Structures are given as structure tokens and as C-alpha cells.
Structure 1
Amino acid sequence: MSKPNFSKILQNLKPDLVIYDMLLPWAEHVVNEHNIPAVKIVTSGAALFSYFFNFLKNPGVEFPFPAIYLPKVEQVKMREMFEKEPDVEDRLAGGNMQITLLCTSRTIEAKYLDYCTDFLNLKVIPVGPPFQDSITNDVDDKELIDWLGTKDENSTVFVCFGSELCLSREDMEEVAFGLELSNVNFIWVARFPKDEEQNLEDVLPKGFLERIGERGRVLDKFAPQPRILNHPSIGGFISHCGWNSVLESLDFGVPIIAMPINNDQPINAKLIVELGVAMEIVRDDDGNIHRGEIAETLKDVITGETGEILRGKDYSKAVSQCQ
């Protein structure tokens, strides 16, 4: 259904150029039928983009930037991802590859952008994020923002793993106990699969909500992430390291406690650790997280000297700078 409708739109609008998402490779074919130039946009960073191409085109050859490494567990996950999505190379490398737009900035990824250009013989143009959410005052968020206003500067951590990712029951328990053991203030957005009816009290450790009291807020609904990250009480962000969340954290100058799960997230996490704006929660050899490690990392960032060091790295203009 999308192709014929898109074709009609092109016929009516007659644009001079079409920028299409790499996830929709069919769009270029439709555009070519109308003799309109098309440019691909990749909604990720250059570190990920170059790592993927090195992985695909130089199998077994080590990526030339040692900061971007993946442990064996993550390498296995990547191989499995490529096996499940055999068209991923075509989506990345297919079509008009003379010019590709990347949602990043030279301020944070200059050497990875240059590697893309040299290795792929490709002109890569950083264009920043596709859009930025405006920070608005919603009456539905008033209680949450008022609660944040009662906390000291940089004393609170925001915990959110994106709009689609749901933690396993085991990981949710470790995160909960990690937050409890850390003794820091927090806002935690706990998401569940759309087809599952869940009650927070049934999923969280018994007595957790009572024990944390006024120190934390656990939400099972949408939260205004940009507004929360921009609040002076927020001193850290436990994140899965999706690219949009990474860019928002850089924009607002909030250190990240990285807890990547899958796909691009492990590489994004390595990048921001390299930039000096994040600490990654260390997993065991089987890829599991543990409450003690979460708690110690949290305390380092929120109440320790590490947080001051991370907050001292200013990339607040990086998101808006395209070149």
C-alpha cells in the first residue's frame, strides 16, 4: 500500500530531491521511476555505520579503532542479527551510495566519519538529529516536575530504556535492587510489552515501592524525557544507549550510565565512554547485569568525583552542529 501512495505523492508534489530512510530501501526505486534524485539517510552514528561496514566487508579483520570493541557475547549477538536480517547489508550499502546522510556531528565523530569516507569511498554528510523534541510544560507532568524540584542539583538519576525495549523480569529485578542499594533519587520509566497487562507491584521486588518512599518515582507510562533530562536535579541517565537518547544526553550535558541491550546500543555505549561522558555498567561473562555493579556505578556518577568529571565534558552544542 505504501508504494502506490508514495508514488502519487511524488507525482503531485514533484520535489527536487527526496531523502529516504535506510529502513525503506524500496523508496529509492519509486523515486527513480519519477526521475527524481534520491539520497539515503542513516539514522545512526558514524561509529556504528563504519563498524558495521568493517564487519560486513572485512570479516575477521579487527576494527581499527580500539575504543569501539565488542566482547564475545556481543559479537555473537551481531552475527545472529545479520543472520536474522540478511538484507541489512543491502539496506546499508544498496542504492545510491555516492552521498549518504548520517544523523551525527563532526564534533563527536570526526574520525569515524573520515573512516567512512576513506574506507567506502563515500561522501558522508553529518546532518545532526532528524528532529528535536521541544521542551513543553504539560499539566500532566506537573506532579513529576514538582517532585524533581524538591531534589538537590545533580542528585537524581533518570532511568529509561527507550520507547520499545522491555527488560526481562531478571533484569528488572537487578535494576530495582541496584537503585535501592545506591540510595540515590531516581525516576524510572518501566515499560512492558504492549500485549501484556502488568502491575508494577507484581513485577518489582516485594516491598520495593514502600522501601524507596519519596526517594524515587516508578512510572509505567510515557515520561517527558527531554524535559526531565533538562532539569537541574538530574545528574545521570541510566540508558540503553539508543542513538536518540545519546544525542539528547549530550545536548543537555547529562552523564550516561550505559546499559546497552542489543542492536546498535553496545557500540553507541563504547563511543560515549570514549568521549568521556559515560560509564558502562559491567556485565559478567554471560552478559548478565548485577545489582551491586549497578549500585556502585550509580554512586560513582551521582555522588562521586566521577560524575563531576563526566559533567565537565561539554558537548551541548554537538547535536546542533552538523559540520
Structure 2
Amino acid sequence: MERLTIVMFPWLAHGHISPYLELAKRLSRRNFIVHLCSTAANFKSIENSIGASSIRLVPLHLPDTYLDSRFHTTNGLPPDLMPFLKRMLDLAAPELRPDLLVYDFLQPWAPLVAKEHGVPAVEFITTTATMMAYLFHHFSDPEAAFPFPEIHYRDYELPHRECLLAVAEEVRRDAFAGVHRSNGVVLIKGFREIESKYSDYLAELLGRRVVAVGALVQEAVTISHELIQWLDNKGKNSTVFVSFGSEYFLTREDMMELAHGLELSMLNFIWVVRFPKREEKIVLEDSLPQGFLERVEGRGLVVEGWAPQAQILGHESVGGFVSHCGISSMMESMKFGVPIIAMPMHLDQPLNARLVELIGVGVEVVRDARGMLEREAVAGVIPSVVADEGLRMSSNRMSEGDEEIDEVVEAFLKLYHNNNKTINGFH
């Protein structure tokens, strides 16, 4: 098989660069050379995860405007600065000359640059087919009801729906333009097995074949870490892991209710807390109920910043994952067979939470009518999920094989050969 060179160009978020890296690893094992483009700020989070693969990191140099280099990633970026980061990436527009380009949803100009050099391009969307079907349905016909009523927003989530859909006309045009510039196929994260009808509808909306690439979850690298040592002393399925990703942050009120709920649940827990990068330092203890850390000592740990998530989820002591239902966290939980306690917060996460319940791998903590978490609801759902063997068995069935990557490789080779025939004048 030819040794093709691919440039991958993800959006500047860890939730995007991580699946791009995992796809790059799998392709590198199939004789592809992959150049992964991102900023130095993003490479810090993945440079130790590449191993001996034929992946080359290509640093992007963003213009020295708007934001300094520590903000050249969405990891910890205050939400109000996100538009500035998007603008900077659009200004970067690097030169691209591989055999094939794989680009992200937010870079509709990238396939145009590739086309100028005779390079075919494929869009890789790092969220679920379900969410994208919902989005493009409403982009196509805002007044029409989504044909799958089980995928919906609750009344208190409607502001998130409006935020998702009330984008500028330019953004809608870019979304359609970007996907219609994808040559023949669109890659999407996830399993066709659990999203087939939504995937088929998305393909109909886009006029493109939709190829699921699997979970693309990082392997759990065994490291010596105090959290793992702490888990080693806990019973099987006795502990819940609590994490809400790197880009979304609980309100003070939600943190308080979650803390009380964890305390009332009487289960062991590891809670990873993150705050946005602001000038004013947020003190962890000030965001928790008074005396909370002392009362849960021995059965609960609160960690600020980072934790080895894959290794924690793969540990036999962990029996549940309290998650915001970002796509990467969903897939990671399913890979390791850990049922989800869903607490969606933002944009597409409510739709992902509906999917989690529909496929039987988790249960959602439903908020009150004002959209606020309630400690009693938290304390009720967590133990019931951890004790539910049916949920655990359903979560365990989502193991990733080679079938999805075989289909990606086949699509890439076909695209490359067809492009060469066109360039050489055979078509």
C-alpha cells in the first residue's frame, strides 16, 4: 500500500485535538504519515501521548493579536474569549501540501486552500451524528420539528438550544460550505451501531456519505499516581469519578449542590474541579460547602486541575462516571464499561445525555424547573446507577474494533486514487 501523507487540522480544543490524535495513531499503524497541526499550547497536552508512531507535530503560529500564547487553546479559556481565538485561527491559514487534508467543522476555508494545490479534503466532525443531524436539520429548516422527538431539549435547557441555533447567518453558511467542500465523505466520531438512524438522516441532509470512526479513546497508560494508589484501596465498583471536561465550568450554586449530593450518596468519589483561567484566583475551598472536605475525608478526594482520566475509568474500583456528556467523555466511559451519571451543562450536551439514556448506558440527573441541580436528585441517581448491573453490561458492549478504521482507510485510498486520475487527465 502507498505511504500517503495526511495533514490533520483540528479546532484548537482538547476535545477536538484528542480524537484527531487518536485517529492519527490508528492511521499511522496503516502506513500513513500524519502531520498534526495545532498550537504549542495544545501540544503540551498530547506530546507525551504520541509514542513511536509516524505522527509529526506541526506548530501553528497564530497572529500576535487579541490573545497571548497561553490562550491559544480552549482549555481553560474563559467563554467570552472564544470568538477571538476563532478569529485568530482564521487569520493563520497555513500552507497545506499533503496527499490528503482532514479538517475540522470550524475551518471551512481549509479545503479551499487544499483545492488550490490539488489536494482532496475530508471533514472530520468530532461530535455525535445525533447532535449534527439535529443542528443541520434546524439550519436547513428552522421551523420544522426534528423528526426524532426522543432527541430534544428540556424546557430549562431551551437557552442552550437557542445559543446553539441562534448563530449568525455567516456561521450557518460556513457550516454548510465547509461540509459541502468535503470530498464525497464526512467522518464523524462514534459508532454507527448506536446512531444509525440519526447518521442516515445526517447523510441525507448533507448529501455526503457519513463514516463513523469509532470511539477514538486514548489507551489507559499505566502511570504511578497517587489517585490510582488511593483507588487500589477501594472495593470494586465502590467509587464514582466526577469530571466536567476542560471547557465548561460549574456555577458556584451547582458546585454546592453537587458537593452535598456526593456527600449524601455515601459513595467514594474522586472529583476533578477546574476553573477558568482568570486574573483573579478562585480558591477551591471557597467554592465548596463549609467543612465539606473534612466530612468526606477518607472516602472523597477533590482534585484541582488534572487527573489521569482514562486510567481512573479503567480501574475496577470505579463504578460510575458523573459527566457533562461531552462526546469524548461519553465514548471513554463506554470504552471502559463505566455507566454514566449525566449532568449536561451546555450546547450539545443535553442531546448527548438523551442519547446516553436511549442506548441504556447511563441515567441523567434532571434539574429543577429553573435548571438548577438539586442535591437530593444527585444523591438519588448516583447510587442507583452504580448498583445497576444492566447499565454496566450495556456500557461494556461498546468496544472499539478495526472495522471503523478499515472503512476510513478504504475511503481515503479511493479518494486519493480518484484525485490522481483527475489530475492526470483520465477523467
- Residue in 2 that maps onto 1:311: 392
CA shift at 1:87, angstroms?
4.0
TM-score (norm 1): 0.90
- 1:108 aligned residue: 194
Amino acid aligned to 1:106: R
Q: Give per-residue Cα distances to partners, 1:96-146, cap 9 Å, x unaligned.
A: 1542111122122111111112343321111224x532322333x2x2111
Q: For residue 153 of structure 1, what is the amino acid of its counterpart? A: K
Contact 1:7 1:31 survives alignment (8 Å): no
Distance 2:392 2:174 in 1: 37
* SS of residue matched to 2:298: helix
Query: 289, 292, 296: which is aligned to 1:208?
Result: 292
Structure 1 position 85, deviation (Å):
5.0
1:277 aligns with 2:358: no
CA distance in structure 2 between the aligned counterparts of 1:200 and 1:238, rounded to whole angstroms:
19
The partner residue of 1:66 within 149, 156, 159 is 149
Asked whether the equivalents of residues 265 and 382 of structure 2 are also in contact (C-alpha less than 8 Å), the reply is: yes
Alpha-carbon deviation of 1:82?
3.3
Q: CA deviation at 1:4?
A: 8.6
Please show how residues 13-162 of structure 1 align to structure 2 within 5 Å: 14-84=97-167, 86-95=169-178, 96-97=181-182, 98-129=184-215, 131-139=216-224, 141=225, 143-162=226-245
Count of residue pairs the alignment pairs up: 313
Between 188-197 and 240-249, the greater mean CA deviation after superposition: 188-197
Matches within 5 A, 1:161-240: 161-195=244-278, 196-240=280-324
Deviations 1:256-279 (A, max 9, x none): 000000111111111111000010
Q: Residue 251 of structure 1 aligns to which amino acid in structure 2?
A: K
Q: Structure 2: which amino acid aligns with 1:133?
A: Q
Alpha-carbon distance, 1:292 to partner: 0.4
- Equivalent position SS for 2:112: helix
Greater relative contact order: 1 or 2 (C-alpha under 8 angstroms, separation 6 or more)? 1
Query: 1:321 Cα shift?
Result: 4.8
Which amino acid in the other structure matches residue 348 of structure 2?
A: D
In structure 2, the CA distance between the partners of 1:257 and 1:65, relative to structure 1 (3 Å rule), is same
Q: Give the conservation status (yes or no) of the 8 Å contact 1:3–1:27.
A: no
Using the TM superposition, give the Cα deviation of residue 254 of structure 1 relative to its aligned residue in structure 2, in angstroms: 0.5
Q: Is the 8 A contact 1:250 1:319 kept in 2?
A: no
> In structure 2, do the counterparts of structure 1 residues 298 and 321 end up closer, same or farther at CA, with 3 Å as the change threshold?
farther
SS at match of 1:152: coil
Which runs of 5 or more residues in structure 2 are unaligned? 1-62, 64-88, 408-427
Identity over the aligned pairs, expressed in percent?
Answer: 44
Change (3 A) 1:120 1:56: same
CA displacement 1:50-96 (0-9 Å, x = unmatched): 01111222223222223211123323322233335544423432131
1:107–1:318: 8 Å Cα contact kept in structure 2?
A: no
Deviation at 1:202?
Answer: 1.8
CA distance, structure 2, for counterparts of residue 4 and residue 194 of structure 1:
24
Q: For each residue in 1:208-252, what CA deviation from the matched residue of structure 2 results, as whole angstroms up to 9, or x when unmatched?
A: 000001011000020011000000010000000000001101111
Distance 1:146 1:18 in 2: 43
Quick one: distance in 1 between partners of 2:398 and 2:332? 9
| Superposition deviation, residue 48 in structure 1 | 0.4
Q: SS of 2:166's equivalent?
A: helix
- Counterpart Cα distance in 2 of 1:293 and 1:316: 28
Equivalent in the alignment of 2:341 = 257
Letter in 2 for 1:120: L
Structure 2 counterpart SS, 1:29: helix
What amino acid is the match of 2:324? H
Q: TM-score, normalised by structure 2?
A: 0.69
CA distance in 2, matches of 1:205, 1:84: 38
Query: In the aligned structure 2, how far is the partner of 1:149 from the partner of 1:271?
Result: 32
1:238–1:258: 8 Å Cα contact kept in structure 2?
A: yes
- Indicate how the Cα distance of structure 1 residues 320 and 180 shifts in structure 2: closer, same or farther if over 3 A, else same: farther
User: What's the CA shift for 1:320?
Assistant: 5.9
